[in-house]
Structure 1
Amino acid sequence: MMTSKVVYTGGLRCESTHTRSQQVIHTDAPPDNHGRGEAFSPTDLLSTSLANCMLTIMGIAAGENEKLLKGAFAEVTKVMASGPRRVSEIHLKVYLPAQYPESDRLRLEQAGLNCPVAKSLHPDIVQDIEFYWTLE
């Protein structure tokens, strides 16, 4: 089954429709690459996908304790390089609930670090991930 359909809508923008759910995402080129930056850029989505995948896989790995992860979030910072223009680094600060059992934290962190997106990114892309078990 097709995953999505992406249509170039002009003005350095695209509209992507998820086949199964019909949810739509718009992208726009960033201001530093001839765009207006009025939506996620494709490289923003790449970087943001890492955080989404990590949190999802951590939720799966949490099993019965998945509900304790509700409200966890990640702050994503993308670093671009030139020659060729590409994502060179993705920095994530992952904030997780302090009440989560200490005995399971390392297992969840490892699950996140080994998520499919993390394993799909080129090894030249630095993945700088920090976990903070501080949420109240």
Structure 2
Amino acid sequence: MPTIKSVYQGNLRTNMRHLQSGLEVITDAPVDNNGKGEAFSPTDLVAAALGSCMVTIMGIVAERDGVSLEGLSWEITKIMNSQPRKISEIVIDFHWEKPVNDPTILQKLKNAAKTCPVALSLDPALKQTINFNF
């Protein structure tokens, strides 16, 4: 059974609908690749998926250990190669205003992030630079 239904809308724009929830995402080609850049590009979504997946798995570990991730935020930088055009590196900078004061739990959270399903699914040639600023 499909998870997502998508439609090409023309002008390098797509619309994707998550079938279970009905939520929609639009993508545009980036300006440097003939697009309008008015929405996430498909490669932006790859980078965003990595960060989101890492935090989701960290959240599962945190809940299991009775820890709140409140105040956790992250910034993502996607670096592209031109020949061939592909993502060469994703840099994620995690920031946590008030991290838990337990080195064992912090290490468990870091390990969880690095072993999320998206991180493990990406080609090993794609460099994943993860900075935990906590």
TM-score by length of 2: 0.94
Alignment of structure 1 residues 37-52 onto 2, 5 Å? 37-52=37-52
Q: How far is 1:73 from its partner?
A: 1.4
The one-letter code sitting in structure 1 at the alignment partner of 2:27 is T
Deviations 1:31-76 (A, max 9, x none): 000001000000000011000000000000112434x102311100
Runs of 4+ in 1 over 2 A off after TM superposition: 96-99
CA distance, structure 1, for counterparts of residue 42 and residue 27 of structure 2:
6
Q: How far is 1:132 from its partner?
A: 1.2
Unaligned runs of 5+ in 2: none
Q: 1:84 aligns to what? A: 84
Root mean square deviation, CA, Å: 1.2
Q: Does structure 2 conserve the Cα–Cα contact (< 8 Å) formed by 1:69 and 1:97?
A: no
Q: 1:127 aligns to what? A: 128
Q: 2:53 aligns to what? A: 53
Unaligned runs of 5+ in 1: none
TM-score by length of 1: 0.92
Percent sequence identity over aligned pairs:
45
The one-letter code sitting in structure 2 at the alignment partner of 1:110 is N
The number of residue pairs the alignment matches comes to: 132
Q: How far is 1:11 from its partner?
A: 0.7
Deviations 1:1-54 (A, max 9, x none): 311011100110000000100000000000000001000000000011000000
